[in-house]
Structure 1
Amino acid sequence: MTEVSSLTGRLLVATPALTDPNFDRAVVLLLDHDEEGSLGVVLNRPTPVGVGDILEGWGELAGAPGVVFQGGPVSLDSALGVAVIPGDEGTSQGARLRSGGADPIGFRRVHGAIGLVDLEAPPELLAAALGSLRIFAGYAGWGPGQLESELTDGAWYVVESEPGDVSSTEPEGLWRAVLRRQRSELAMVATYPDDPSLN
């Protein structure tokens, strides 16, 4: 079996050809990607449910909008916390450890400044360290080789993530914003109409 090049920390941006309604215009942050499969969260699906309504103590730490996001169609009854540690965007794990800066308790780094938050930990343990926090109900998951097959079929664009993607204050516009910042023909895809039949 050929080795899978990890896409952890990258964004999957749904192409206009992707017809699955769960992922229409979705921007997915990949939290894990290897030969055993992939796991990510949809960054641009806010719900009307406030974080404080379901997770006591975490509401004050959630960035605007302070709502739960639908992270994907899998395990909608589970919650994942994704956060950014400010000032850490360009710091490699090795450099941080050499300088004595370990990750805060209850935070597991995924890529760059982005990591997963242990929602079982007391929120006050992380309050001082976190720059922004998003809570996701459910996640997007792919079995071994499934994502690679979808990439081959042209369902997703793969682009670099930026720490601000996790905490975008206008998540509904994230699909267009991520495409617009690309330095390639992908920037033109941002102008694709919501309903191509109206073209």
Structure 2
Amino acid sequence: MSSAASPLGPADLAPGRLLLATPGLLDPNFADTVVLLLDVNDDGALGVVLNRPTALPVSAVLGEWGDVVEEPEVLFQGGPVSTDGALAVALAAPGGEHAAGFQRLWGRVGLLDLDTPHELVAGTVDRLRIFAGYAGWGAGQLEAEVAEGTWYVVPGEPDDAFGEEAGGLWRRVLRRQPGDLAFHATRPADPDLN
């Protein structure tokens, strides 16, 4: 496989990158997931699972934020850590990167502090998704998992975090990759049944 057709490696871990679980990752917390990396530093990494919507409406837990989030207007299971807490990933409106409660991560994507009064956020955010919990790795842990082939590391696009059809995200992201990596999108869920 040429380097242009290969996924990125451990050195390429950065906010905005996506982790796609390889077919060999059987941990039920991460099997078939797409994880958006939000922070990577010497102490570890933090991200949210993008393709695990729950049945719980945001409005049932966070009231008025339910009117602002993307369809489907439900909480997403962001990962197995701190599932009683919420992280809000937002796409700032042009010029909204410096709005109250918004912490820019890359481009116009950032985290929104849900304690910010709803009125101060109006008009500053184009898109919003709220995640219950997150995925976290200690120092060197994610790099080791990538090196052993547990994750494909690929560039992310802002729309990945906000799309309506979360169930097909893993395959859609793979299909847009160059070369041989795109062929993994056609792999059946259980190759033994093929």
TM-score of the alignment, normalized to the shorter chain, above 0.5: yes
| Structure 2 partner of 1:107 | 102
- Corresponding residue SS for 1:20: coil
Higher helix share: 2
Say whether the 8 Å CA contact 2:97–2:108 is kept in structure 1: no
| Structure 2 partner of 1:194 | 189
Say whether the 8 Å CA contact 1:104–1:129 is kept in structure 2: yes
Say whether the 8 Å CA contact 2:16–2:156 is kept in structure 1: yes
Deviation (angstroms), 1:183:
1.4
> Could you list the runs of 4 or more consecutive aligned residues of structure 1 that deviate by over 3 angstroms after TM superposition?
none
Q: Are 1:147 and 2:154 counterparts? A: no
Q: Are 1:15 and 2:22 counterparts? A: yes
| Structure 1 partner of 2:158 | 163
Q: Are 1:36 and 2:35 counterparts? A: no
Deviation (angstroms), 1:6:
4.8
Deviation (angstroms), 1:85:
1.7
CA distance in 1, matches of 2:147, 2:17: 17
| Structure 1 partner of 2:3 | none
CA distance in 2, matches of 1:83, 1:71: 14
Deviation (angstroms), 1:60:
0.6
Deviation (angstroms), 1:9:
1.3
Q: Are 1:183 and 2:190 counterparts? A: no
Q: Aligned letter for 1:189?
A: H
- Corresponding residue SS for 1:55: helix
CA distance in 2, matches of 1:137, 1:159: 24
Q: Aligned letter for 2:154?
A: V
| Structure 1 partner of 2:80 | 73
Percent of pairs with identical residues? 55
Deviation (angstroms), 1:102:
5.3
Deviation (angstroms), 1:77:
0.4
CA distance in 2, matches of 1:23, 1:194: 15
Q: Aligned letter for 1:80?
A: L
Deviation (angstroms), 1:196:
2.0
**Structure 1, residues 22-49: CA drift from partner, whole Å, max 9, x if none?**
1111000000001100000000000000
Q: CA RMSD in A?
A: 1.4
Counterpart pick for 1:60 among 62, 67, 77: 67
Task: List aligned pairs for 1:110-129, cutoff 5 A.
Answer: 110-129=105-124
Deviation (angstroms), 1:68:
0.1
Deviation (angstroms), 1:111:
1.4
**Structure 1, residues 153-188: CA drift from partner, whole Å, max 9, x if none?**
101111111110011110011000000011121110
CA distance in 1, matches of 2:51, 2:97: 30
- Mark the runs of 5 or more structure 1 residues left unpaired by the alignment: 89-100
- Mark the runs of 5 or more structure 2 residues left unpaired by the alignment: 1-10
